[in-house]
Amino acid sequence: MFRSLRRALCAVAAALLLPLAGVHTAHAADAAGAGYWHTGGRQILDAAGQPVRIAGINWFGFETGNHVVHGLWSRDYKSMIDQMKSLGYNTIRLPYSDDIFKSSTVPNSIDFSSGKNADLQGLGSLQIMDKLVAYAGQDGLKVILDRHRPDAGGQSALWYTSAVPESTWIADLKALAARYKGQDTVVGIDLHNEPHDPACWGCGDTATDWRLAAQRAGNAVLSVNPDLLIFVEGVQTYNGVSGWWGGNLMGVAQYPVQLDVAGRVVYSAHDYATSVAQQPWFSDPSFPDNMPGVWDKYWGYIFKQNIAPVWVGEFGTTLASTVDQKWLAALVSYLRPTSTYGADSFHWTFWSWNPNSGDTGGILKDDWTTVDSVKDGYLASVKAPLFPGTGGGSGGGGGGSTASCSAAYTVTSDWGSGFNADVKVTNSGSTAISSWKVTWAWSGSQQVTSMWNASYTQSGATVTAANASHNGAIAAGGSASFGFGGAPGGAGVPSVSCTAA
């Protein structure tokens, strides 16, 4: 997505009640995610046949005039990937444009001062992408490459333009498949971002039928690397019913994508809130209870009928309105909590890591460092374990050192009757830690009302917060964060202590 010219679209027909078909039981082992992945019914399975869940984040920039991920003007890329890991995101979706394949393209807006991004100096866009992929893999994150737009100038309705024909699109997709062959950090490619009118699904016109184009491109990718997953987004309109760009997968029921290699198709939908555009379902008197039926109709049925896995490749909001808050809470619930369903769930990558997405904002605030703990907190129930790393990354030092940590407590908002706070846990030792606990005592009657990215116990004024499963491991010098809500407000900042193991 790039935030521009979104249109309110046609109303949704009545919600469909769709049965659940038989599926694999999800009992993923700790090491789930190793190797290349394939599909089985509605699940994505690793090389050993264990179900995995994509629970990730979009980090955009390669598709823009910077020709590289954004934020490198503020921070080192490794520190941001480490922070993604610490927050429990296990996959990065990297949008790009075909401009990055041009020899004349030079990445810009990278800060090299004080040692930041030192190993990126003098590199081209694709070489920088190599570095990001390698480091993400070391940290235990997977990467999905997203052909977001033909060139940095803007998004396109179809997968080709007069300047970037289909032949160039396919050649560049094959080049990426070949570039990362054997590097199973890159698990797949999202063929084209948000096809929309006049793109159709199943109409049979080779110039506009996105489903046929996806088959051509998907088979081309698999001819180079048959191990990759092929992520296929929806369109805007099918049989006169319109929805979000890329979000309408109604045509899959009659016209599924058929590739030469079985078990490679993952369907991808995008879904947004009112901060992007109004849709008729937001003003339905039954909102937000109507939303599961909307999602069932457009894309959820594919999962519920065991046709194929479904990945919500983009969803986001500023959370500025009550409608958007209710929408995000309803969508997260629809995606299925990991604690209840494990990897037998919808997959997702939130839009976006970047704070400079104009009509959604990001997980990071404008300083490119502070986490929007409220927004991140909405996603806590659908986060999922990291994957086996390739070694290195932010790994700690040698053994024999005492595990230690420190914690910094910050009140992010206080409205009198309640407040929100963030706590940053830093590994202050010289060796990696596997778990941590933070303790503090308030001087007043405050009580924790909710907590994300940690679990807690409270006895009187004393609170002890322990890491979640996804953020207990912190490399030497690294950090993790959690947040919470409490009441009443006016508590001030207590002294905190941290213990590590």
Active site residues: 194, 314
Order of all β-strands in the sheet with 51-52: 38-40, 43-45, 51-52
Q: Which of 125, 1, 144, 2 is nearest to 68 (CA)?
A: 125
Tell me if the bond preceding 150 is cis, omega within 30° of 0: no
Q: Which of 229, 326, 223 is nearest to 281 (CA)?
A: 326
Query: Do the beta carbons of residue 147 and residue 80 sit within 8 Å?
Result: no
What is the distance between the alpha carbons of residues 352 and 94, in angstroms, rounded to a whole number? 11
365 Ramachandran zone, left/alpha/beta (phi>0; psi -120 to 50): beta
103 is written with which tokens? Answer: 């020899």
Q: Which of 54, 86, 139 is nearest to 422 (CA)?
A: 86
Tell me if the bond preceding 198 is cis, omega within 30° of 0: yes
What b/e sequence results for 120-150 when a residue is b if at least 16 CB atoms lie within 10 Å of its CB, and e otherwise? beebbbbebbeebbbbbbbbbbbbbbbbbbb
What is the distance between the alpha carbons of residues 202 and 249, in angstroms, rounded to a whole number? 11
What is the distance between the alpha carbons of residues 388 and 114, in angstroms, rounded to a whole number? 31
Quickly tell me which residue has 């933070």 as its tokens: 438
DSSP assignment of 61-118, as one string?
-BTSTT-S-TTTTTS-HHHHHHHHHHHT--EEEEEEEGGGGSTT--------GGGTTG
What is the dihedral sign for C-alpha 81, 87, 91, 97? negative
**Angle of the 77-87 helix axis to the 125-138 helix axis, nearest 10:** 40
What is the distance between the alpha carbons of residues 17 and 5, in angstroms, rounded to a whole number? 33
